[in-house]
A and B are shown apart, each in its own frame.
Chain A
Amino acid sequence: MEQIRAIWRYGIKVGIIGGIVLILTALIGMIEVFTQRQIIADVVSMGHALYLAAGLFICYLAAERTTPAKPLWIISNSMFAGLTTAFFLVLLIILGRHVNLRLMFINASDLLLNNLLTFGVQGNDGLRLLLIAGMGVGLFTGLFYLLPKFLRTVILWSLAGSAFAGVLQELIRPILANNFPDVISEWLLTSDGLTLKGALSIFIFIALIVISWSIKGGGIRQGWQGLPKKQQSTWRTIGTIILLAVILIAPWRLGLFMSEVMTIVGLYVLLGLGLNIVVGYAGLLDLGYVAFFAIGAYVTALITSPEIMNLNWSFWSAIPFAIFFGILAGVLLGVPVLKMRGDYLAIATMGFGEIIRLLVLSDALRPFLGGSQGIGQIAKPQVLGFVFKGPQEIYYLIVAGCMLVIFVSWRLKDSRIGRAWKAMREDEDVAQAMGINLVSNKLLAFGTGAGFAALSGVIFGSKIGSIYPHSFNIMVSINIVCLIIFGGIGSIPGVIVGAAALIGLPELLREFAEYRFLVYGIALVVMMLIRPEGLWPEEAHKRELHEDKTNEATG
């Protein structure tokens, strides 16, 4: 009796949710579209991998939730979850046979329902196979769950690693071609997907790394802490030098496209660090931040382009102007919103962002700002005849910009001004009661943030060569807010990690078009639910956690 109730609670209920999720995944066309792409050539397509992974995940959830965790219960629950999920898909297929689902769900094609979902077997045999497969996956997952935790971790990591390699094959290919002899590339990749042996070798390679880390990792960490301070700092310096060297040679080793992605991420790091000062330090939610980015780009365009103003100044001379106007705009736009708080501030600033975009787009200002045709022929940066032309050259400019901005943010962070900002973020009234001038500190934050954004805009304008109002819509602002919180609000490395995750990854996955936005959305939700502090939270929290641990150790 007890066991039947457990099956209902942990098996079938999870299976119902899983069934709905899988039906949705199928109906939005993800499975069908992804089957066109191979992970392991002629063995597993991405669609099938997704389909299986979803099933495995559902059964795993069922197994994990089972209490008490008796082996038999776990297996039965997992199997029932798999069966229920399959049952839902069977229902969908049967429904699809009687009703033309395509009138409503355009992706419910015949191919999907009667072929892909049933692993290529058609007719009622396919339905039976689907049910059996559901149970099989459940059984497999249940047994897998009963393995020791260590083994599970290793297998999961290795599986994830191989799948990741398969998904990103297009990127791996040029990198391999650039840096390694052809043999490796031939071993790992075919023209479409990984080779079977390649996938296996990646699997084993990652497994070895995970195993060795879990055996030796603790020792290494202890060894590190055991080192004298001086030695630690020498090692740190060496590490920094290696890191710098890697950063400097990266574009030439990773190829054109990766450099492009890194430049884009770099631009967003600049933007993110700027907004991090406004939102992360000072706690002023600014949803119109793109305005300053636009101002930077447009000032550069006006100064350096032969169109419109025909000044034809150099890129370098545009920088101070752009930053000056950016800061000026930041302060001027900051003044009217000084008294607003929270979401009033957010919407008012969003309004500013939109106003700026509409103004540069407008026919009314077209003679001065180019209207919808934008401004073209923006100058590329040049030093002594060397032109920063493609992404591999612009990259260095952006790295320099990022370093400058990281340096400034880092200096400000723990200074008198940084503390004032953080105090305002925590409690504006009390901050004022502690002698902090809200007006000047808020304007300082707005101005600093706007300056960084303008710098980013300068490089952006020059990199693209021609700018259009369309590039400065509200989604840019929203993206930046998301990335600084995703990375860990108020944290400088967090911004970099956040930009890499939320800008870099979608950029790498450009060919997945719509689905990357879906995944982006789900990632935001899941991340906030399971790790709201972000990927790399602010130091103070960590510092404290660390201290707690030492306290425990001593006490």
Chain B
Amino acid sequence: MDGLDIEIKEKTIHSVIGPNGAGKTTFFNCITGFYKPEAGEILLENHSLVGLMPDRIVRLGIARTYQNIRLFPDLTAIENVLVGMHAHLKSSYLGIILNTPFVKKEEQEAEAEANRLLKFVNLETKANMLSKHLPYGDQRRLEIARALATRPKLLCLDEPTAGMNSGETQAMCDFIQSLRDDLGITIMLIEHQMRVVMGISEIITVLDYGKKLAEGTPDEIKRNPKVIEAYLGQGSAAQAH
């Protein structure tokens, strides 16, 4: 990636699109601290994120999901969500062993909140199922619930509708919008399906080979000649193979 400059405004739904290998996921990995950019700066509300460990970044308010769902397969649904709340719980080691009133109260509250989140993603009946046994769509939503449990300011969704049929996709779009509307979370979205992107985003950034190709509202992007070329170019490249 090279010379990328993206600004994400609060409480927007901001999509990042681009052909395969354009560096979208790499961009996510940089934001969430898995990769360290060689140069440059990532700021969250003026706080530099470069070089911080991923767990610190989560605490600062960025959460993510994964393109190829990465839940904790042998934990139950509710445990997955509770793990997401880890950073905001304060039970100490000794407190846990002695089961102090504080720990008890905190656990109860955490469980209540986890159940609330599960309800929010319509999984309240499946709280005790191992996440690896959940159907695909449920797993996607559970992953989002887990990300929400970290109480993020910015939520990065990596292809949330991958592998879904149109009905499911629509439901997911509505759900994403409700996240922003109801919870007031800023959302950054990587997406492949143009229909989804155009439908829900307020701002779109187009990446190609790690560079920013264009940025703007969906309408602007649709008309941008560079974007059209990049996508056609990719298509013709594919034919050449």
Do A and B share a direct contact in the complex (Cβ within 8 angstroms)? Answer: yes
Spell out A's residues near B (CB within 8 Å): 407-408, 411-412, 415-417, 419-420, 422-423, 425-427, 429-438, 444, 540-541, 543-544, 547
B130 touches A540 (CB 8 A): yes
Chain B proximity of A368: nearest CB distance (Å): 32
B105–chain A nearest beta-carbon distance, Å: 13
Q: Check A420 against B86 for contact (C-beta < 8 Å).
A: yes
Decide if B74 touches A419 in the complex (CB within 8 Å).
no
What are the 4 A-B residue pairs with the smallest beta carbon separation, nearest first?
Answer: A435-B87, A426-B72, A435-B58, A415-B96
What is the CB-to-nearest-CB distance from B150 to chain A, in angstroms, rounded to a whole number?
Answer: 5
| Pair A434/B58 contact, Cβ less than 8 Å | yes
State A426–B72 Cα separation when bound (angstroms): 5
B129 and A436: CB pair below 8 A?
no
Do B75 and A436 touch (CB < 8 A)? Answer: no
- Tell me the minimal C-beta distance from A449 to chain B in angstroms: 13
Known: A416-B91, A427-B70. A435 touches B86 (CB 8 A): yes
How many angstroms from the CA of A438 to the CA of B89 in the assembled complex? 16
Contact of A433 among B64, B71, B133 (CB under 8 A): B64
Interface size band for B: 35 or more
User: B55 on the interface (CB 8 Å rule)?
Assistant: yes
The answer on a CB contact under 8 Å between B73 and A426 is yes
B175 located at the interface, meaning its Cβ lies under 8 Å from any Cβ of chain A in the complex = no
Complex formed: what's the CA distance from A415 to B103 in Å?
9
Pair A432/B72 contact, Cβ less than 8 Å: no
B residues less than 8 Å from A425 (CB atoms): 74
Q: Is the CB of B133 within 8 A of A408?
A: no
Chain A binding surface SS class: helix
In angstroms, Cα B86 to Cα A429, docked, is: 15
Shortest CB distance A524–B (Å):
22
- 21 CB-based A-B contacts, threshold 8 Å: A412-B97, A415-B91, A416-B96, A417-B93, A417-B96, A422-B72, A426-B75, A430-B66, A430-B70, A431-B83, A433-B58, A433-B63, A434-B58, A434-B63, A435-B87, A436-B86, A540-B76, A541-B130, A544-B128, A544-B130, A547-B128
* B61-89 to A contact mask, C-beta < 8 Å, 1/0: 00110100011111110010011101111
Q: What chain B residues lie within 8 Å of A433 (beta carbons)?
A: 32-34, 54-55, 58, 63-64
The chain B residues found within 8 Å of chain A, CB to CB, are 32-34, 53-55, 58-59, 63-64, 66, 70-76, 79, 82-84, 86-89, 91, 93, 96-97, 99, 103, 106-107, 110, 128-130, 133, 146, 150
How far is the CB of B149 from the nearest CB of chain A, in Å? 8
Q: A415-B103, A426-B72, A544-B76 are in contact. Are A432 and B82 (CB under 8 A)?
A: no
Interface centre among B63, B89, B99 (most CB of A within 10 A): B89
Q: Give bound CA distance, A206 to B55, whole Å.
A: 58
**A contact residues around B74 at 8 Å (CB):** 422, 425-426, 540
Nearest-neighbor residue (CB-CB) of B88 within chain A: A435
CB distance from A459 to the nearest CB of B (A): 20
Q: Is the CB of B34 within 8 A of A429?
A: yes
Cα–Cα distance between A127 and B103 once the two chains are bound (Å)? 75
Tell me the complex Cα distance, A435–B74, Å. Answer: 19
B160 to A: closest C-beta gap in Å: 16
Is A444's CB under 8 angstroms from B93's CB? yes
A423–B76 CA distance with the chains assembled, in angstroms:
11
- What chain B residues lie within 8 Å of A415 (beta carbons)? 91, 96, 103, 107
Question: Within the complex, what minimum Cβ distance (angstroms) separates A382 from chain B?
Answer: 28
Q: Does B130 contact A423, Cβ atoms closer than 8 Å?
A: no
CA distance A438 to B110 in the complex (A): 21
Q: How far is the CB of B140 from chain A (nearest CB, A)?
A: 15
CB distance from A358 to the nearest CB of B (A): 33
| C-alpha spacing A420/B53, complex, angstroms | 16
Residues of B near A427 (CB, < 8 A) are: 70, 72
Closest residue of B by beta carbon distance from A410: B97
Contact of B55 among A412, A438, A540 (CB under 8 A): A438
Interchain CB contact under 8 A, B34 and A423: no
B72 near A540 with CB under 8 A, answer no
Cα(A437)–Cα(B33), bound, Å: 13
Q: Provide the bound-state CA to CA distance between A265 and B34, in Å.
A: 44
Closest to A490 in B: B74
A433 vs B82: C-alpha distance when bound (angstroms): 14
Q: How far is the CA of A430 from the CA of B84 in the complex (A)?
A: 10
Do A435 and B75 form a contact, CB below 8 Å, given A415-B96, A416-B89, A419-B83? Answer: no
Give the residue of A412, A434, A543, A547 whose beta carbon is less than 8 angstroms from that of B83: A434
CA of A407 to CA of B128, assembled, Å = 24
A544 to B128, CA, bound (A): 6
B81 CB to closest chain A CB (Å) equals 10
Chain A residues, Cβ within 8 Å of B76 = 540, 543-544
